[in-house]
Amino acid sequence: MNGHRCACGYEASDEVELTDHFLEVFAPPDAIAADGTVHEEGRVKLTCRCGFTAITPAGLDDHFIAVFAPGDGGGLDGATHMAAASVR
């Protein structure tokens, strides 16, 4: 095991792929968060339409996960999605 697993059983090849998985299952198609604000990449590199600016692409991904992922890990597909503990 590579340590990049989701509780749903998805096995990513690396951390970036796991983050992409989370964005797919948490970000709604209209990009509107629970607070009614649109969160999607803006025209300027590494910015969100809400005004957030990241230093790295991973920072922008972290922002999206923070605003879209519910505390219980429930995805749009009804399954639970969160990093699974590594089994040693």
Helix (H) or strand (E) holding 25: helix 15-26
Structural domain contains residue 10: yes
pLDDT of residue 2: 59
Average pLDDT for residues 21-45, to the nearest whole number? 94
Structural domain contains residue 9: yes
Average pLDDT for residues 81-88, to the nearest whole number? 68
Structural domain contains residue 45: yes
Domain span at residue 50 reads 1-81
Structural domain contains residue 74: yes
Structural domain contains residue 88: no
Average pLDDT for residues 15-37, to the nearest whole number? 94
pLDDT of residue 33: 95
Structural domain contains residue 11: yes
Structural domain contains residue 86: no
| Alpha-carbon span 9 to 80, nearest angstrom | 10
Mean pLDDT of the chain: 91
Task: Give the count of domains, the chain.
Answer: 1
